[in-house]
């Protein structure tokens, strides 16, 4: 997998969910803080995204907003509309919130596509952790065509479910999340000014090559010299550039990614610890268990049991 896909897979838990909302003014909701992320797409009409901090964001047809950090926010048909609190159900999904159509609607209708993803923020990948609270992707002719196509397909499946729609919708939601993140990354990379943080790391040919090596083969016994050679840089020059853009030395990030991968494998199934150790670059189960406990505070077997109880 590539770095962006890995960053998402490392944090995702459970199944994403989505809903098409047909709204009639006046309408307004307040969403509480959560461990997940959410998105809203205006298919018809307009809406206002009201973050807990910062200026409201006006949304028109085709606009996408992504709430990356799970903070409280409001969504309404107008800035003067009182916000009704929305509380998630026990399974993490949102209840039906669409107001009933009034006998004589007092404002224009709006159609929104809304969705949410549950995340494990205890192991947040820095690529996602540095996202702003609100990612606003305005509709522009010719911009983000793949994202627009995914939105149209998802909207059609939710409007008229067909046999197999459950699987199609889940796949489209995963695809949509990656397209949103890719659109943000490309905007950061090609926008005004120089990219910073992980946008700069992924845009740097040498550092990006090293990251692909780490993510593509976490079981390989990488050294700084090996990674520097893949980056086309001397050991010292590579180490400086990697640390400056990623925020930590190459081997520190390698260990972090190995442990993150191990935790994901432990949560996924009953793969033997010996196999997980081999997949994450450890020559013995003992060495792996020691490294894992140092990182997570519990032994791998205990971590697996705890994860099974909370699933």
Q: Is the pLDDT of residue 187 over 50?
A: yes
Indicate whether this model's pTM tops 0.85: no
pLDDT band at residue 57 using 50, 70 and 90 as cut-offs:
very high
Residue 101: predicted pLDDT: 47
Residue 100: predicted pLDDT: 45
Q: Which tokens is 254 given? A: 């390698």
* Number of Cα atoms under 13 Å in the Cβ half of residue 297: 2
* Largest distance between two CA atoms of the chain: 72
* Sign of the CA dihedral running 260, 172, 17, 309: negative
Residue 141: predicted pLDDT: 64
Q: Which tokens is 178 given? A: 């990656």
Annotate 69-94 with b (16+ C-beta within 10 A) or e (fewer). bbeebbbbbeeebeeeeeeeeeebeb
pLDDT band at residue 192 using 50, 70 and 90 as cut-offs:
low
Residue 15: predicted pLDDT: 78
Residue 6: predicted pLDDT: 87
Cα distance between residue 138 and residue 126, in whole Å: 25
The arithmetic mean of pLDDT across residues 41-69, rounded, is 93
H or E element in which residue 43 lies: strand 37-44
Annotate 43-58 with b (16+ C-beta within 10 A) or e (fewer). bebbbbbbbeeeeebe
Per-residue pLDDT reduced to its tens digit, 118-137: 877 777 788 888 888 999 99
CA 105 vs. chain centroid, Å, equals 36
Residue 19: beta bridge partners? 114
Residue 99: predicted pLDDT: 47
Say how many residues make up the chain. 311
Q: Is the pLDDT of residue 93 over 60?
A: no
Question: Strand order in 64-67's β-sheet?
Answer: 12-24, 109-119, 37-44, 64-67, 134-137
Highest mean pLDDT among 42-46, 102-106, 182-186: 42-46
Q: Is the pLDDT of residue 14 over 90?
A: no
Instruction: Characterize the bridge pairing of strands 28-31 and 84-85.
Output: parallel
Separation in Å, CA 23 to CA 26, 51, 98, 225, 291:
8, 20, 6, 58, 52
Is the omega angle on the peptide bond into residue 26 within 30 degrees of 0, that is, cis?
A: yes
CB 73 within 8 A of CB 31: yes
The arithmetic mean of pLDDT across residues 244-273, rounded, is 92
């Amino acid at each position: 997998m590539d770095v962006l896909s890995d960053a998402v897979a490392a944090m995702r838990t459970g199944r994403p969910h989505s809903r098409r909302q047909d709204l009639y003014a006046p309408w307004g909701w307040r969403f509480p803080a959560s461990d997940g992320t959410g998105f809203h797409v205006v298919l018809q009409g307009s809406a206002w995204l009201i973050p807990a901090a910062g200026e409201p964001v006006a949304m028109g047809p085709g606009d996408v907003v992504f709430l990356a950090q799970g903070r409280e926010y409001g969504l309404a048909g107008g800035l003067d509309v009182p916000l009704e609190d929305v509380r998630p159900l026990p399974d993490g999904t949102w209840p039906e919130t669409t107001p009933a159509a009034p006998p004589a609607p007092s404002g224009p209708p709006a159609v929104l596509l809304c969705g949410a993803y549950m995340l494990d923020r205890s192991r947040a990948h820095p690529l996602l952790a540095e996202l702003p609270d609100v990612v606003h992707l305005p509709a522009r002719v010719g911009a983000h065509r793949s994202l627009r196509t995914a939105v149209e397909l998802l909207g059609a499946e939710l409007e008229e479910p067909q046999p197999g729609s459950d699987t199609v919708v889940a796949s489209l939601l995963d695809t949509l999340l990656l397209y949103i993140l890719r659109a943000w990354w490309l905007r950061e990379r090609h926008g005004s000014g120089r990219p910073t943080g992980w946008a700069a790391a992924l845009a740097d040919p040498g550092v990006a090559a090293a990251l692909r090596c780490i993510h593509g083969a976490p079981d390989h016994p990488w050294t700084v010299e090996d990674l520097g050679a893949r980056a086309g840089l001397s050991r010292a020059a590579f180490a400086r550039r990697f640390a400056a853009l990623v925020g930590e030395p190459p081997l520190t990030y390698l260990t972090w990614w190995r442990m993150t991968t191990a935790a994901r494998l432990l949560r996924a199934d009953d793969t033997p610890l010996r196999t997980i150790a081999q997949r994450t670059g450890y020559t013995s189960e003992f060495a792996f268990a020691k490294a894992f406990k140092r990182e997570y505070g519990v032994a791998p077997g205990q971590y697996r049991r705890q994860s099974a109880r909370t699933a």
